[in-house]
Amino acid sequence: MGKRMALTGNDAGAYAFKHANADVAAAFPITPQTELMHKFAEFVADGDVDTELILVESEHSAMSACVGSAAGGARTFTATAANGFALMWEIVYIAASCRLPIVMAVVNRALSGPINIHNDHSDSMGGRDSGWIQLYSENSQEAYDNILQCFRIAEHPDVLLPALATLDGFVLSHTVEAVEILDDDVAAKFVGKYKPHFSLLDIDNPVTVGPLDLQDYYFEHKRQQVDAMEKAFPVIKAIGKEFGDLTGRYYSYYDEYKLEDAEAVVIALGSAAGTTKAVVDELRAEGQKVGMIKLRMFRPFPYLELRSLLKNFRAVGIMDRCISFGGYGGPVFNETRSALYGLPNPPVVSNFLYGLGGRDISTHQIREIFETVQKSAQHEPQNLIHYVGVRE
């Protein structure tokens, strides 16, 4: 089934977009996303896809072109990173509020300054309130799988929201790994043909997109975006299962890893989730009762499911590769801890901020995180926020 290849994360992303065979793509280069669009441009030049690739002069224009294209009923995607994502900010919100099922790959990179090209999650986490679905990838295989599923999720009639899949800059985007790419016909059948619900080009059924919307209806439209996010839950689950039946790689909101009888649990997303699994393997081999949860879906946030899962544990550690300055802990910590509020006997939840600007997160450091979480199960600590691997 499929073809096993040695690909970088960027190449794997480009193959997913090839298999989605979108009508239109618009993008602007930015490290570490550049090679993804290079590779995709090769597919365009070789005639492997039917995509019209629009080379724009900025990311603001890239997302604007995507909005126009998607409003015209075309399957549309883009890819960006860091400051590129920041530059398209205004239009990122507009894409979501127009309910345009645009797909975007975000090759996670630190949001300057000082200027830094390496990985953290400040870019996509900053967009958490913009109305986009967000899926995080542990490795390049998941980057391919997530991007492909994003098209199905975004275009689902119950959802009609833009969706982004992330892959960690350099750690995945520039690392060669084994990735299984679906056969072209299998991928085409999975993604399916796009039948837009509305199109500006459908002159027999005229619609208005993006008009003025003031005190009278704006709030109702926002409420509908909330509904669409709620409706995305079962869709994301069903498509993850369908993808699993097809490939053997099943997806849901999160992965539970060796949680049975675990006394300390760590939650991570992105590539550090893989390193955390390797540490869980080591610690289990030493007889320690530890496990981890890999969060795949951050938007919508699976608060009910995590609340019900985590209530069984004494101590939980949350790894965040992003700081919310002036806030109490990082975004994954905030959301998870809030989901546990009101439980009669909630676990102690600690936050571990790590890896900003591409700072390596080693197996030793993750072992220390588990140690801290284990201790917090015995004595509730005064300080819940920890900075990992930083000089103080």
Contact residues for another protein (CB under 8 A)?
4-6, 117-118, 138-139, 168, 170-172, 174-178, 271-272, 274-275, 277-278, 281, 360-363
Q: Given the complex with another protein, which of 242 and 371 has the nearer CB atom?
A: 371
Q: How far is CA 32 from CA 25, 80, 156, 267, 322, in A?
A: 18, 8, 30, 26, 18
Q: Given the complex with another protein, which of 175 and 225 has the nearer CB atom?
A: 175
The tokens of 26 are what? 């618009």
How far apart are CB 268 and another protein at their closest, in Å?
11
- Count of residues for the chain? 392
How far apart are CB 201 and another protein at their closest, in Å?
40
User: Which residue has 């009923």 as its token pair?
Assistant: 73
Instruction: Say if CB 345 and CB 338 are below 8 A apart.
Output: no
User: Which residue has 């007889």 as its token pair?
Assistant: 287
The tokens of 17 are what? 């977009």
Cβ atoms within 10 Å of 30's Cβ, excluding its own: 21
The tokens of 154 are what? 């975004």
How far apart are CB 179 and another protein at their closest, in Å?
9
Q: Given the complex with another protein, which of 274 and 346 has the nearer CB atom?
A: 274
Cβ atoms within 10 Å of 308's Cβ, excluding its own: 12
DSSP-based three-state secondary structure for 388: coil
* CA–CA dist 38, 44 (Å, integer): 10
DSSP string, 279-291: HHHHHHHTT--EE
How far apart are CB 80 and another protein at their closest, in Å?
19
Q: Given the complex with another protein, which of 159 and 268 has the nearer CB atom?
A: 268
Q: Given the complex with another protein, which of 174 and 314 has the nearer CB atom?
A: 174
How far apart are CB 362 and another protein at their closest, in Å?
5
**385: β partners:** 351
How far apart are CB 215 and another protein at their closest, in Å?
49
* CA–CA dist 293, 315 (Å, integer): 13
Region at 107 (left for phi over 0; alpha for psi -120 to 50; beta for the rest): beta
Q: Given the complex with another protein, which of 20 and 366 has the nearer CB atom?
A: 366
The tokens of 210 are what? 């993006």
* CA–CA dist 49, 118 (Å, integer): 31
Q: Given the complex with another protein, which of 72 and 84 has the nearer CB atom?
A: 84
How far apart are CB 190 and another protein at their closest, in Å?
23
How far apart are CB 340 and another protein at their closest, in Å?
28
How far apart are CB 264 and another protein at their closest, in Å?
19
How far apart are CB 139 and another protein at their closest, in Å?
7
Instruction: Say if CB 62 and CB 25 are below 8 A apart.
Output: no
Q: Given the complex with another protein, which of 83 and 139 has the nearer CB atom?
A: 139
Q: Given the complex with another protein, which of 2 and 346 has the nearer CB atom?
A: 2
The tokens of 1 are what? 């089934």
Q: Given the complex with another protein, which of 197 and 364 has the nearer CB atom?
A: 364
Quick one: 375 exposed, middle or buried, by C-beta within 10 A (0-12, 13-18, 19+)?
middle
